[in-house]
Chain A
Amino acid sequence: MIIVEDLHKSFGEVKAVQGVSFRAEDGKITGLLGPNGAGKSTTLRALYTVLKPDSGTATIDGINVVEDSVGARSRIGTLPHGSGLYPHLTARENISYYAELYNMPADTIDGRVQKVIDELDINDFADRRTKGFSQGQKTKVSLARSLVHGPQNILLDEPSNGLDVMATRALRELIRGLRESGKCVLFSSHVMQEVAALCDEIVIISSGKVAMQDTPDGIRATTGCDDLEEAFVKAIDMVEVES
């Protein structure tokens, strides 16, 4: 479970995140939705402790990300924006490298790596060097890499970027599978349809603030719009009027 409370982060003059609070529960898919530059990535980066928040707290399974960043990081699997692979290593080696860095027991690594390779259906190219992989293949390997240690919390930053229809569908299936096994999935997107298709909870972020957090139905009701896209635009407008 991920709890974010009143998170602030500025880069010089730019206030990227100004008071973001939300909860992402276990066994649910929570979507961070917002236009480009709304502060989604900054929020996620604070959660996987690459950025240190100026104020506010964030906990992952009760572990404070600032006070025990290594502990918090061990509870998460991440797919950062444009997640890169090592081109000279095979897909399997890329995954194993992370498994070792996750400090998994040496004798379990090979088995676990094979398991995620099966789960993500990447056996066909698991032993090829990742140089020249398609975007879909790369995303799958990156995802396998972040899931290899079986994390309770999974943070995905725009995971469907650059994926074709088939790959996107496969990704959605996988994310639903993670929910079924009781994981906490938090992912960011600026694509309404995707969030609508997947999420149990939607957190709409605009200009560094949370405009709304609710179920898709709840959001439709609050904004009085049947169409989620309309609702999204309306919710963002509401923030901008306030500020």
Chain B
Amino acid sequence: MKTIRTVFLKEIVDNFRDRRTLVSALLMGPLFGPILFAFVINLSVKQSLENADEALDLPVIGAEFAPNLIRYLQSNNINIEDGPEDRAAAIEAVSLGEEDVVIVIPENFGENLSDMTPATIEVITDQANTQAERETRRASRALRAYGQEIAAMRLTVRGVSPMIMRPLNVDEVDVSTPSGRSAILLGMLSYFFIFALLTGGMNLAIDATAGERERGSLEPLLCLPVKRDHLIFGKIFAACFFMAISLSLSLTCFHFTLKFMPLQELGMTPNFGPTVVVLAFLLLVPFALVGASLMTLVASFTKSFKEAQTWVSVVLLAPTMPILVVSILMVRPSTELMFIPSLSQHLLLVGLIKNEPLNLLHVLVSVSGTLIVGALLTWVCARLYRREGLLG
């Protein structure tokens, strides 16, 4: 026990003086998530709000052939602009990205309308351009609505109720709560937190194995009258400690930056008060043992600090895999899933943010399952540390 404590304390002091560890543990991890998240949220809020409220500037060729249609579009918050000279010029402008979408009204538009033959309107667009896609959808919707209006009028004139054209009335009822809606976006948060946690201990995990070997300090250390298991335990616990710091900073940081994100405008009320911060910390922190031992394990196979960094970075991605699979398959939390580290933390955190009551069985399985996996990995590390090949 004394050896473990001595190694633990030394690693803490050593790494608090190492700028590389400090930057990754106290700056990179905790800030990266919240800042990236704020950026993404702000961007998406801006786009969705802009598109709904702002007038759409729509270049039209041949506006003079359909004055009623133009009036209709204008009343739907669409500004009609003069389009390029002709159809060919419009196609070129769109493919070059100068215009997102151009509408071409042919000369015989009015004639066709009065003959009751379908009147063609061309919507020139580039489907590969996402920005254009949204504008195109808006323009097409307005055009379709105009068409339906004319159809309804034609039926009314013939004494037929326009309702005959609408056998179905499809009405979507959205039962998601505002918190629930935000959970979709906030779901990716759990990865940011796990990322912050892992980066916090990354340097220490590498330093404890590959770093010590490269520096030549491993051999004298192994000559000391202490059990190698105790050395590795001290190092893994020190990595856990840094991971816990990084995680708590990241959660706290998020609690504050969330206030500056215009989530309310998206109809979200994320539940991220002080209680949630504390609970999230307690739910996520067992993963530190898995992360620290996994990184130590990977790093002890490598020959140098640089090589270790490369491989350990892969570990940063590993916890995303289960989260990704579950997000795609839209799996509901279940007791079995709680046995999988990183996934169980993700599911519990999402539930927490959605303001759902915590399922105590799930929490228990998640915490103990994660700790068991962590303990197993730590044991494997200790076995590896007993190898002669460790010195390289």
Interface string of B1-31 (1 = CB under 8 A from A): 0110011001001110110000000000000
**B5 CB, min distance to chain A CBs, angstroms:** 9
B209-230 near A? 1/0 per residue, CB < 8 Å = 0001001111111111111000
The answer on a CB contact under 8 Å between A100 and B6 is yes
* Interchain CA distance A145-B216 in the complex, whole Å: 14
Evaluate contact between A84 and B216: CB separation under 8 angstroms.
Answer: yes
CA–CA, A102 and B223, complex, Å: 10
Q: Which residues of B contact A84 (CB under 8 A)?
A: 212, 215-220
Contacts A49-B223, A73-B224, A103-B225 given; indicate if A89 touches B13 (C-beta within 8 A).
yes
- Rounded to whole angstroms, the CA-CA distance of A142 and B7 in the bound complex is 18
Within 8 A of A (CB), among B186-228: 212, 215-227
Nearest chain A CB to B209's CB is how many angstroms away?
14
Report whether B220 and A73 are in contact in the complex, using a CB–CB cutoff of 8 Å: no
Question: Could you say which of A26-34, A75-83, A183-191, A229-237 contacts chain B?
Answer: A75-83
The answer to the question of B388 belonging to the interface, with a C-beta cut-off of 8 Å to chain A, is yes
| Nearest A residue (CB) for B19 | A88
Q: How far is the CB of B118 from chain A (nearest CB, A)?
A: 78
Q: Report the bound CA distance from A102 to B220 in whole Å.
A: 12
Could you say which residues of chain A place their CB within 8 Å of the CB of B220?
A: 78-80, 83-84, 98, 142, 145-146
Name, among A103, A129, A145, the residue most crowded by chain B CB atoms within 10 Å (CB to CB): A103
- Complex partner residue of B219 from A52, A80, A98, CB under 8 angstroms: A80
| Contact partner, A83, options B3, B219, B225, B226, Cβ 8 Å | B219
Of the listed residues B3, B217, B225, the one surrounded by the most CB atoms of chain A closer than 10 A to its CB is B225
Contacts A80-B219, A101-B6 given; 4 further ones with Cβ under 8 A?
A78-B220, A101-B224, A102-B224, A142-B220
23 of the cross-chain contacts (CB-CB < 8 Å) are A48-B223, A49-B223, A50-B219, A52-B388, A73-B223, A73-B225, A73-B226, A79-B220, A80-B219, A83-B216, A83-B217, A83-B220, A84-B217, A84-B218, A84-B219, A86-B10, A86-B215, A88-B14, A100-B6, A101-B221, A101-B224, A103-B2, A103-B3
Residue of B nearest to A52 (CB): B388
Number of interface residues of A (CB under 8 A): 34
Residue of B nearest to A89 (CB): B14
Give the docked Cα–Cα distance between A84 and B217 (Å).
4
Q: Does A238 contact B (CB under 8 A)?
A: no
Tell whether B363 is near chain A: CB-to-CB under 8 Å: no
Q: Do A98 and B388 touch (CB < 8 A)?
A: no
- Contact partners of B217 in chain A: CB under 8 A: 83-86
Give the most central of B212, B224, B227: most A CB within 10 Å: B224
Chain A nearest CB from B85 CB (Å) reads 71
By a CB distance below 8 angstroms, the chain A residues around B14 are 86, 88-89
Inter-chain contact B222/A50, CB cutoff 8 Å: yes
Q: Residues of A at under 8 Å CB distance from B?
A: 45, 48-52, 70-71, 73-74, 76, 78-89, 93, 97-98, 100-103, 129, 142, 145-146
A48, A78, A80, A87 interface centre (most CB from chain B within 10 Å) = A80
| Residues of A with C-beta under 8 A to B227 | 70
Distance A49 CA – B225 CA, assembled complex (angstroms): 10
A133 CB to closest chain B CB (Å) equals 13
Expressed in whole angstroms, the minimum distance between the Cβ of A65 and any Cβ of chain B is 11
Q: CA–CA, A129 to B17, complex, Å?
A: 10
A48 to chain B, nearest CB (A): 4
CA gap between A48 and B388 in the complex, in Å: 12
Inside 8 A of B93's CB, which chain A residues have their CB?
A: none
Given contacts A80-B219, A88-B14, A145-B220, contact A50 B2 (CB under 8 A): no
Cα A71 to Cα B226 with chains together (Å): 9
Asked whether, in the complex, the Cβ of B216 is within 8 Å of the Cβ of A50, the reply is no
A101 / chain B contacts, CB cutoff of 8 Å: 3, 6-7, 221, 224, 226
A135 to B7, CA, bound (A): 26
Q: Is B80's CB within 8 Å of the partner chain A? A: no
Is B283 among interface residues, defined by CB-CB distance under 8 A? Answer: no
Which of A50, A87, A88 lies in contact with B223, CB distance below 8 A?
A50
Q: Which residue of chain B lies nearest to A48 when distances are taken between CB atoms in the complex? A: B223
Instruction: Tell me if B391 counts as interface (CB < 8 A to partner A).
Output: yes
Q: For residue A83, which residues in chain B have a CB less than 8 angstroms away from its CB?
A: 216-217, 219-220
Q: How far is the CB of A183 from chain B (nearest CB, A)?
A: 17
**Which residues of the other chain, A, contact B215 by a CB distance below 8 angstroms?**
84-87
- By a CB distance below 8 angstroms, the chain B residues around A51 are 388
Asked if A76 and B6 make an inter-chain contact with CB atoms under 8 angstroms apart, the answer reads: no
Are A70's CB and B13's CB within 8 A? no
Known: A50-B391, A88-B14, A100-B6. A81 touches B224 (CB 8 A): no
Chain B residue at minimum C-beta to C-beta distance from A74: B225
A48 cross-chain contacts in B, Cβ below 8 A: 223
The chain B residue sitting closest to A100, CB to CB, is B6
Across the interface, which residues of B come within 8 angstroms of A81, CB to CB?
216, 219
- With the chains together, A86 CA to B221 CA distance in Å? 11
**Which residues of chain A have C-beta atoms less than 8 A from B10's C-beta?**
86, 89, 97
Output the least CB separation between B230 and chain A (Å).
9
